[in-house]
Amino acid sequence: MRPLKRSILKYLKQFVIPFSGLPEGEHWFDFKIEKEFFECFENTDILEADVLLRVQFIKRSTMLELEFGFSGSVKSECDRCLGPVNLPLECDEKIFVKFGNETYDEAAEVLVIPFGESEMDIGSIAYEIIYVALPMKRAHLDSECYEDVEEYISIEEEKEDKIDPRWEQLKNL
Ligand SMILES: [Zn+2]
């Protein structure tokens, strides 16, 4: 388990939405996602981040509907030259939340939080959505890679092709 450092907890607190006092209906929340956000999840792949997250929060009597909208970009290491590469992040994701005793209703793809819960921590949900949305292959366009490592790159790519049979299998799907 990740050690719960005080500074991390403090930072992530801003991603908790207290909803018990809200009237039923639509509410909007804005969040700024920066490098520190990723560090809280022990992610060191992201070198920089400048992303606006808008959450449309609909409170209903029996459930919650959250629509996450991300816009901005992050910087990561290029897979080929290891230089910084800019990755646009534009995506939307809808999450349904109901109240219950189990934690996740797989059949309905609904998140479940305990009855009587008064707040919703959206930090880790946002992190997961971002992670899935970012491309697997993070690289510059060929011509934009840093030149001095080009030879190294072609050798590494050759090696990768040979040693990772999983990708071969995926191609045949
Ligand atoms: Zn590159």
Q: How far, in Å, from the CA of 84 to the mean position of ligand 1?
A: 7
Q: How far, in Å, from the CA of 64 to the mean position of ligand 1?
A: 42
Q: How far, in Å, from the CA of 78 to the mean position of ligand 1?
A: 5
Supply the pLDDT for residue 92: 96
pLDDT tens, residue by residue, 33-80: 999 999 999 888 899 999 999 999 999 998 999 999 999 999 999 998
Q: How far, in Å, from the CA of 149 to the mean position of ligand 1?
A: 9
Q: Is residue 28 part of a domain?
A: yes
Q: Which two tokens stand for residue 20?
A: 């018990």
Q: In whole numbers, what is the pLDDT of the chain averaged over residues?
A: 86
Q: Is residue 11 part of a domain?
A: yes
Band the pLDDT of 1: cuts 50, 70, 90.
very low
Q: Is residue 173 part of a domain?
A: no
Name the percent of the chain lying above pLDDT 70: 79
Q: Is residue 150 part of a domain?
A: no
Interatomic CA distance for residues 80 and 108, integer angstroms: 40
Range of the domain at 47: 6-143
Q: How far, in Å, from the CA of 111 to the mean position of ligand 1?
A: 38
Structural domains of the chain, count:
1
pLDDT tens, residue by residue, 147-165: 765 555 566 666 666 656 6
Q: Is residue 48 part of a domain?
A: yes
Closest CA relative to residue 120, chosen from 42, 70, 65, 54: 65
Q: Is residue 170 part of a domain?
A: no
Q: Is residue 96 part of a domain?
A: yes
> DSSP E strands: which ranges in 115-172?
119-121
Judge residue 56's burial from the number of C-beta atoms within 10 Å of its C-beta, 0-12 exposed, 13-18 middle, 19 or more buried. Answer: middle
Q: Is the torsion defined by CA of 116, 20, 59, 131 positive or negative? A: negative
Band the pLDDT of 100: cuts 50, 70, 90.
confident
Q: Which two tokens stand for residue 72?
A: 């901005």
Q: What are the beta bridge partners of residue 49?
A: 74
Q: Is residue 166 part of a domain?
A: no
Supply the pLDDT for residue 156: 63
Supply the pLDDT for residue 170: 63
pLDDT tens, residue by residue, 103-142: 666 666 788 998 889 999 999 999 999 999 998 889 998 7
3-state helix/strand/coil string of 29-94: EEEEEEHHHHHHCCCCCEEEEEEEEEEEEEECCCEEEEEEEEEEEEEEECCCCCCEEEEEEEEEEE
